[in-house]
Amino acid sequence: MKRVVAERQHIEELLARSSVYHALSMLLRYPDATLAKWLVAREHHRLPEVLERLGADGRLSEQARRLLNVLDAQTLPDLVRQHERTFGHAVQSAAPPYELEYGEEHSHRQPQELSDIAAFYQAFGLRISAAAHERVDHVGAECEFLHYLWYKQACAADEDAEEHARVCEEAARRFLADHLGRWGPAFALRLSRVTTGDLLAVVGDVLLGWLSQECARMGVPLGLCDLPLRSPKEQDEGCAACLRM
């Protein structure tokens, strides 16, 4: 009986972690009808409870409650304006939501790293929807991928498919270490600083707190909060290099 209870608690924890990544992916993507439907369903109101269940510290729980208060006061047009003001319509902004805009300046790394991220998705039968018009390294896509991995692990655990569950967990650990956990803290801190007073500033605070907790739990290094951005010159050279391939 104790084993059954422990297994059920484990599955519930996996689903809870999946739901946190899902919430972050929804709030960091371009606001659209899908987000509006999610808000009407009040899915976001579960976030503080879920984080507390997962052992979040008091600061992260308080940030989640603040997120709800700010979010409930917004309309979809408000969210669209904030998103466009923060991210604009170019790849590079004050807080670029793309992994490849952070770190050392080597233009040749762009196609290889984009391919590496896409390979993670493809290994689980996933790809970026053409309708999304986003690169594979967008923070919303990376959060959504981790949401999917934890959900799939929960399903595997429920079906006693231990090998499949281990594959999902290892993929999540590697993706967190190599990608979102490496550059996400720098993005989150920039987002908090450039959008002071906006909803996205609170989202940045929650993302940073969540990644700190996740990396510690998974035993992977948390990325630096002061990762530099690629210079516009490097970005232009990188795009030119891609076109020459």
Q: What's the pLDDT at 109?
A: 64
Decide if 150 contacts 168 (C-beta within 8 A).
Answer: yes
Confidence of residue 2 (pLDDT cuts 50, 70, 90): low
**Domain that includes residue 71, residue range:** 2-244
Q: Which residue has the tokens 């270490």?
A: 177
CB atoms within 10 A of CB 125: 7
Of the listed ranges 188-192, 224-228, 240-244, the least confidently predicted one is: 240-244
Q: What is the pTM of this model?
A: 0.90
Decide if 193 contacts 205 (C-beta within 8 A).
Answer: no
Count of the separate structural domains present in the chain: 1
Q: What's the pLDDT at 151?
A: 98
Decide if 54 contacts 13 (C-beta within 8 A).
Answer: yes
Q: Rounded to whole angstroms, how far apart are CA atoms 107 and 70?
A: 39
pLDDT digits (tens, 9 = 90+) for 125-159: 998 887 777 899 999 999 999 999 999 999 999 99
Q: What's the pLDDT at 128?
A: 86
State both tokens at 43.
């899915």
We report the CATH number of the domain holding residue 142 as 1.10.3480.10
Stated length of the chain = 245
Is residue 99's pLDDT more than 70? yes
**C-alpha closest to that of 140 among 96, 78, 104:** 96
pLDDT digits (tens, 9 = 90+) for 162-216: 999 999 999 999 999 999 999 999 999 999 999 877 899 999 999 999 999 999 9
Q: What's the pLDDT at 239?
A: 39
